Amino acid sequence: MSLWDFLLSFFQTVSRRKTIPTGGCRESNLRRCLSTLDLVALGVGSTLGAGVYVLAGEVAKTNSGPSIVISFLIAALVSVLAGLCYAEFGARVPLTGSAYLYSYITVGELWAFITGWNLLLSYVIGTSSVARAWSATFDELLGKRMGNFFSTHMSINSPGLAEYPDIFAVCLIVILAGLLSIGVKESTTVNKAFTAVNVLVLLFIIISGIIKGDLRNWRLNESDLLATLAQRNGDQTVTGNQTWHYGAGGFMPYYFSGTLTGAATCFYAFVGFDCIATTGEEVKTPHKSIPMGIVLSLLICFLAYFGVSAALTLMMPYHLLDTMNPLPVAFEYIGWNVAKYAVAAGSLCALTASLLGSMFPMPRILFAMARDGLLFKPLAKLSSRQSPVIATMVSGAVAAMMAFLFDLKALVDMMSIGTLLAYTLVGICVLLLRYQPEPSSLGSSEKKRPSRMLWVDLLIHPDVIPSQHSSRLVSRTVSLLAVLVCLVSVVTTVGLPCLLSGSAWCIACLVLLLLGILVASLIIWRQPQSQKKSAFMVPCLPFLPILSVLVNSCLMAQLSSDTWLRYLVWMAFGLLIYFGYGIRHSAERHRDKDLSLQMTNHERSDTDSAVTCKK
């Protein structure tokens, strides 16, 4: 075999796609028992974590001021772009696997494995970090007695490891892993209870802001800021322009650039809704419930973030907010000291629901990958209650070990890579899926065109329905689009000082790249879309998915080089598993072999029949 033949065979192997039954659904061994309410509670509980009790104060004081409400609005709109793509796939392909499955169907096996491996990384680190945050919050209520005891008697003095083994966090993960192993319905019932308490506490905070809020806190001028500085300096007179710590006052004290910076931070507050997409084979009516669950959970989370941040900045001037415990300090500021206990209860309920939301999708990704043969087969074993028990126990054990030993602060940014890459691939997959031809139309729709006129003709006179030619054009344009998006991300991150200085060649490069993205978008827009309807479809195709891909790529480019280095180590370990095990045990590989064997046997039988007839 020549080198070219080997490379061609290798490319065909890693790009083989998963085939699904007509209609996008199939019989599942998992228990179909979840309703739309269960999915909404799961999405809200996973997304609306303890960040709502901390993030609003930090962003308002250091980035946005009262305009944090606008920051959350921008972040919600950007998150909705990815949410719409997930909603369409959830309606078209209601199977377990989320972004891993969507990638497998549209872009091939290798990308699917990379996506699934990234999701596992995000969920493991997310589960471990939330468990440690739960432990730290509870320890704070106890006066840090647990932390002092473990630091004294079980101290760990090693770089990269935690100060002490967090046994409480391990116990918490083990308990919830046991709950998840019992069954999906029982788990979602507990999740609904904790999410309901969390939402009630947030409603109490919002109503408190309406009652005790003061609109003057959104119109602070420079004299108000100087008076605050004088009070903090012991009533001494403050001279000169010393208000730069708190911006210029008003609704946007850090100007619109500060509002945008706050929006970039607030975007990560909406991460978590994708866990709904992993429930495709456990929902009673997945075609309708999954899209509705995703959209409603994002809407509820936005209203909660918007309301809490508005209440917080109305109750207390933004420059007085505490970045670590903003809500308890705000209630003390208005004289409602008892309310801090309600905030503490809501925070613990939010952490519990968020922990369940992080642990819930992890075994389902493991189950889907093991069922497809890309990970070890025992992980696909189900219990008598139709729950992926082995995958649940393994994922819980890994998360517990991480929470027990490691300092997760340095690893949390790696969660962002996995999540943002999944969002990006789902956006690309929606583009490819909507422009694919139906198998029944391949023979009749292909037109005879001269090859050298083909692409021009497709732009001037596009087909009425998708064809192999139009689908191939879209695929190549999307590949070019991905390169352009990566270049824009690099230019806006690495070349940001050059852009801010007003350098002509930097601005020209950025404008040319954006024009290239626009032209590629228009080329895709001219091609015919699939006529197959779904319960939910992304509007404004192809522009909304392309915008989602661009935003997510720019956010990934802003992560540090150390984070990318750790991510590459994780990916190297995953690729060893894929090329050492998954590529040989893939269910699609065995399916292709079976089809080839059937075709060979069919050809032999035809040959034997022809010989018999001649005799």
Q: Residue 269: which of 114, 58, 62 has the closest Cα?
A: 58
**With a cut of 50, which residues of the chain have pLDDT below it?**
237-243, 444-445, 451-453, 611, 613
Kindly state the DSSP code that residue 344 receives in the 8-state scheme.
Answer: H
Task: Give pLDDT, residue 559.
Answer: 84
Q: Which two tokens stand for residue 123?
A: 């969920």
Tokens of 68: 């944090």
Q: What is the pLDDT of residue 591?
A: 78
d(CA 597, CA 579): 24
Torsion of CA 263, 264, 268, 271, to 10 degrees: 80
pLDDT at residue number 608: 54
Q: Which of 445, 431, 611 is nearest to 520 (CA)?
A: 431
- The pLDDT score that the predictor gives to residue 68 is 94
- Count of all residues that appear for the chain in the document: 615
Q: Which residues contact 243 (CB under 8 A, 6 or more apart)?
A: 222, 225, 226, 229, 249
Nearest to 16 by CA among 120, 156, 113: 113
Amino acid at 583: I
Query: d(Cα 591, Cα 21) in Å, to the nearest integer?
Result: 14
pLDDT at 243: 46
Determine how many CB atoms are found less than 10 A away from the CB of residue 341.
Answer: 12
Contact between 343 and 209 under an 8 Å Cβ cutoff? The reply is no
